[in-house]
Amino acid sequence: MPDFKTRALCLSGVVFALLFLPGCSVKSVSKVEVVPDTKAEILNDGRLLVHDFGIIRPRSEQSHVFTLSNSTDTDWKISKIVENCSCTVAQTSTDVVPAGDSLAVELAYRAGSEFSNDKRDTIVHFEQEDVSPITLRVESKIRPQIVVQPVNFSIAAYEPDKKIQKTVVVHDWSDAGLKTVHFCSDDSWISILTARQDRDTESEAPFPPWAGVLTVDVKGLQAGKHSGRIEVTAREKDLEYSTYVNVTLDILSPVRVVPSNLFFGEIVPDETTTIRCTMLVVPDNASDTDKSLWESLVIVSDLSSETLKTEIIKETETRGTLVISLMPHTSDRLQGNVTISIGEGRYHDLLLPVIAYVKRESLTSQERKENDGENVE
């Protein structure tokens, strides 16, 4: 039988090969999962055996030898070993646990690629019906040298010149403690200030975390979605680590109109056709004016006032109705825009396209009279 070191090297190679087979994957999560107290789970009859690898690095390979003890006077024969993850591989020198003796089972384990509290079970089944399966459990705390939380910011902004602040925390899981942590971004609307922060007493990190205050400046940005990122660089002695924080900013109007496209379809000349839209207003939105958002709404159109008329009906502080009435005096196709100015021009204007097809008259008045006379006869 090969010695422990030789077998460990062989097993690490087997785990590496299995991890890269098609369909194999390693479970990893981006936040700490609550792991129960496994010591309290160990049964008196030895049907659950647990080993905790403690803090390990992502993708690192570990191994542990479990001992299956048989205190009965009958040999146990292993029928199968069921593993719930391709990240574990079990190996034994034989498939029999002798009566009154024990059998060593070596379990190789490869850690996932991200920060997580991991727990994996391998179940050993026996041919004897009266012998219950034995569960071999390995646990670990997978920790990169630096862990940034959160890794993604999704920010919605209504105010046109507001500065929004968030906190970025860098947890230090390095071996000797991080000497420096730097934050930087190439996006002009993102700035970040580094400040050393006392360690969180509930944190499992061996060194105090670092913190940065992220500031997003909305002023001057167009309405819509903006994407940026922050590079986080940390140095431990002569080693340097880096990662990124993604920032998504969605600049919204405090007033929304549904539907936002005013498509009238085919309409008749000199007849009024009306579309009623729902208006949704963000409540208590700061406008820095003496008027409320409802009072500050101004509607203009590039279509004439004889052709298009508008009305706003306020129902509640957050909801109302926009009424658009169209009366064409031509047989041409109508196309224009209705623009809603909000907060005395401080916000991005809402632009509502107006499209209508005017029905053409196929008969003249004289032709209609002649046809009516023929029908009477």
pLDDT (0 to 100) of residue 236? 86
Please state the rounded mean pLDDT for residues 163-168.
92
Nearest to 248 by CA among 221, 262, 264, 229: 229
pLDDT-derived band at 75, boundaries 50, 70, 90: very high
d(CA 204, CA 140): 13
Please state the rounded mean pLDDT for residues 144-172.
90
In three-state secondary structure terms, 182 is strand
Residue 259, preceding peptide bond in cis (omega within 30° of 0): yes
Interior CA angle at 33 toward 27 and 39, to 5°? 100
User: Taking 50 as the threshold, does the pLDDT of residue 193 lie above it?
Assistant: yes
User: Taking 80 as the threshold, does the pLDDT of residue 368 lie above it?
Assistant: no
Q: What is the mean pLDDT of the chain?
A: 81
The answer to whether 253 touches 340, Cβ cutoff 8 Å, is: no
Q: Which helix (H) or strand (E) holds 4?
A: helix 4-19
* Bridge partners of residue 68, in order along the sequence: 103
pLDDT (0 to 100) of residue 188? 93
- CB atoms near residue 89 (< 10 Å): 25
d(CA 304, CA 327): 10
pLDDT (0 to 100) of residue 362? 45
pLDDT (0 to 100) of residue 34? 32
The answer to whether 346 touches 288, Cβ cutoff 8 Å, is: yes
Please state the rounded mean pLDDT for residues 248-264.
91
Please state the rounded mean pLDDT for residues 248-271.
90
Nearest to 266 by CA among 331, 211, 208, 310: 331
d(CA 354, CA 288): 31
The answer to whether 352 touches 262, Cβ cutoff 8 Å, is: yes
pLDDT (0 to 100) of residue 292? 82
pLDDT (0 to 100) of residue 301? 93
User: Taking 90 as the threshold, does the pLDDT of residue 4 lie above it?
Assistant: no
In three-state secondary structure terms, 285 is coil
User: Taking 50 as the threshold, does the pLDDT of residue 218 lie above it?
Assistant: yes
d(CA 189, CA 171): 25
The answer to whether 134 touches 124, Cβ cutoff 8 Å, is: yes
Please state the rounded mean pLDDT for residues 299-307.
91
Q: In the numeric block, which tokens belong to residue 229?
A: 């990122």
d(CA 184, CA 191): 7
User: Taking 70 as the threshold, does the pLDDT of residue 371 lie above it?
Assistant: no
Please state the rounded mean pLDDT for residues 237-258.
91
Q: Please, what are the domains in the chain? A: 4-142 (2.60.40.10), 146-251 (2.60.40.10), 255-358 (2.60.40.10)
User: Taking 70 as the threshold, does the pLDDT of residue 2 lie above it?
Assistant: no
Which of 181-190, 202-211, 330-339 shows the highest mean pLDDT? 181-190
Higher pLDDT among residues 322 and 162, named by residue:
322
Distances (CA, A) of 50 to 70, 88, 107: 17, 14, 11
- CB atoms near residue 304 (< 10 Å): 9
Please state the rounded mean pLDDT for residues 231-246.
90
- Percentage of residues in the chain with pLDDT exceeding 90? 51
Distances (CA, A) of 10 to 24, 25, 185: 19, 21, 45
The answer to whether 231 touches 244, Cβ cutoff 8 Å, is: yes
What phi, psi does 118 have (nearest 5°)? -110, 150
User: Taking 70 as the threshold, does the pLDDT of residue 306 lie above it?
Assistant: yes
Q: How many helices (H) and strands (E) does the chain have?
A: 3, 24
- CB atoms near residue 315 (< 10 Å): 10
User: Taking 60 as the threshold, does the pLDDT of residue 29 lie above it?
Assistant: no
pLDDT (0 to 100) of residue 65? 96
Higher pLDDT among residues 297 and 46, named by residue:
297
pLDDT (0 to 100) of residue 211? 87
User: Taking 60 as the threshold, does the pLDDT of residue 353 lie above it?
Assistant: yes
pLDDT (0 to 100) of residue 358? 86
pLDDT (0 to 100) of residue 106? 97
Higher pLDDT among residues 21 and 110, named by residue:
110
In three-state secondary structure terms, 76 is strand
Torsion, Cα 78 82 87 90, to 10 degrees, reads 0
CA atoms within 13 A on the CB side of 71: 4
pLDDT digits (tens, 9 = 90+) for 98-121: 999 999 999 999 999 988 999 999
